[in-house]
Chains A and B, each alone.
Chain A
Amino acid sequence: MNRRSLVALPLAALLTACQRAPEARAASPFTSTDITGVDWGRDFHLTDHHGRPRSLADFRGQAVMMFFGYTHCADFCPTALALMARVRTVLGIDGPRMQGLFVTVDPKRDTPQVLSQYVPAFDPSFLGLYGSEQATAAAASDFKIFFAAQKPDAQGQYTVDHSGVMYAFDPHGRLRLVMRPSESVEAMAADIRVLLKEIS
């Protein structure tokens, strides 16, 4: 790309181009948004619903799908987790090579006890991850996830605004894809298969 064409590019397009790694500019084998090479989202330090400290290195050799949500979310979070579970089913014999992770953005209400009931109900292999308010904020920030608890109503109930994307990591633990629930289960599963092939 020469200097002249760079100047002519709108700022938004330029920023997008700069954020993408060279290999992502070629025709993508993915339906999901390819963010290969980003310099953020490298790791997290949280606790799973069994009480075990977890970081990305624990899932080497597996593709990982990660979603930030909360259990008092009526619509979007159950939809996303059900999608993740169906991706694992559609993967068939490759299913066990995909690890689903649900990171709560509402650790105040989503205790380990709540998460240990909620998350495995979508798929027994899925893990709920939580941290202190500081650890949660740090993980969300590292993965460019926005969240903001709203003012409680008269009954003390509140919703949490949050980013509704799913991330996919390759078996080397590298952040590779942004998935959105508008994609089909089959397309997500096909993308996960591409990531899994990179290790076998």
Chain B
Amino acid sequence: MMKLLPHSLRGALTAATLGTFVVPSFAAPDVTVSHAWARSTVPGQPVAAAYFDLRSERGASLTELRSDAAASVQLHEMQRDGDIMRMRELPRLVLPPGQTVHLAPGGTHPMLMQLKRPLRAGETLHLELSLQDASGRREKVRVNVPITDKPPQEGTR
């Protein structure tokens, strides 16, 4: 269930559909996504979060997220002030070279705004991540996020 199928969308098709020029790259994808999951939503819940680990060997930034399940996807940072939770939109998330960045409950996470349909356990949420490497090269990574009502962390806590 936790197996991921990240892959890059490159070349003419991406460039044509998104109107941006994407430099073809023949190197192995630099950014890997793992341990993705999203909590299933309940009736009346208009928003959702997704969680995963990101790692870039050469260093990159996550600049944008999209999903066909939501009107928009914002990257939110949780700023804790004692017991007060403050959510703030992050314009981009820096992935330092060789470090795994965890997007986890209670921390930085993508927030799916104005859900178009509920997230149901057992189904898959599709996310598209826009990344930019140190040389400015852009890459898109699609992530299949398993939706669960039994989050991995909570089972072991």
Contacts of A79 in B (CB 8 A): 39, 105-106
In the complex, besides A76-B85, A79-B105, A118-B43, 8 extra interface pairs with C-beta distance below 8 angstroms are A75-B78, A76-B78, A78-B39, A114-B44, A117-B44, A146-B84, A163-B83, A163-B84
CB atoms of B85 and A155 under 8 A apart: no
- How near does chain B come to A83, taking the closest CB pair, in angstroms? 7
- How near does chain B come to A118, taking the closest CB pair, in angstroms? 4
8 Å CB contact of A75 from B41, B46, B84, B111: B111
CB atoms of B42 and A117 under 8 A apart: yes
CB atoms of A74 and B49 under 8 A apart: yes
Contacts of B43 in A (CB 8 A): 117-118, 121
Closest to A164 in B: B85
Bound form: Cα–Cα A74–B67 in Å: 15
Known: A83-B154, A181-B106, A185-B157. A75 touches B44 (CB 8 A): no
CB atoms of B154 and A71 under 8 A apart: no
Contacts of A146 in B (CB 8 A): 84
Contacts of A117 in B (CB 8 A): 42-44
A159 an interface residue at 8 Å Cβ cutoff? yes
How many B residues are at the interface, by size bracket? 20 to 34
Bound form: Cα–Cα A153–B73 in Å: 13
Interface string of B57-85 (1 = CB under 8 A from A): 00000000000000110001010000111
Known: A161-B85, A162-B85, A163-B84. A185 touches B154 (CB 8 A): yes
Contacts of A121 in B (CB 8 A): 42-45
B101 an interface residue at 8 Å Cβ cutoff? no
Interface string of B11-54 (1 = CB under 8 A from A): 00000000000000000000000000001011111111100000
Bound form: Cα–Cα A153–B105 in Å: 23
Interface string of B124-157 (1 = CB under 8 A from A): 0000000000000000000000000001001001
CB atoms of A180 and B84 under 8 A apart: no
| 11 residue pairs A–B, Cβ–Cβ below 8 Å | A75-B78, A75-B111, A78-B41, A78-B45, A79-B39, A82-B154, A118-B43, A121-B45, A153-B89, A161-B84, A161-B85
Bound form: Cα–Cα A121–B120 in Å: 13
Bound form: Cα–Cα A162–B87 in Å: 9
8 Å CB contact of A162 from B46, B48, B84: B84
Known: A78-B39, A161-B86. A73 touches B157 (CB 8 A): no
Known: A76-B106, A162-B85. A155 touches B76 (CB 8 A): no
B95 an interface residue at 8 Å Cβ cutoff? no
CB atoms of A74 and B42 under 8 A apart: no
8 Å CB contact of A82 from B39, B47, B48, B86: B39
CB atoms of A72 and B47 under 8 A apart: yes
Bound form: Cα–Cα A115–B46 in Å: 12
Bound form: Cα–Cα A132–B85 in Å: 23
B90 an interface residue at 8 Å Cβ cutoff? no
A86 an interface residue at 8 Å Cβ cutoff? yes
Known: A118-B43, A155-B72, A185-B154. A75 touches B49 (CB 8 A): yes
Interface string of A115-140 (1 = CB under 8 A from B): 11110011000000000000000000
Bound form: Cα–Cα A102–B49 in Å: 20
Bound form: Cα–Cα A69–B34 in Å: 30
- How near does chain B come to A186, taking the closest CB pair, in angstroms? 8
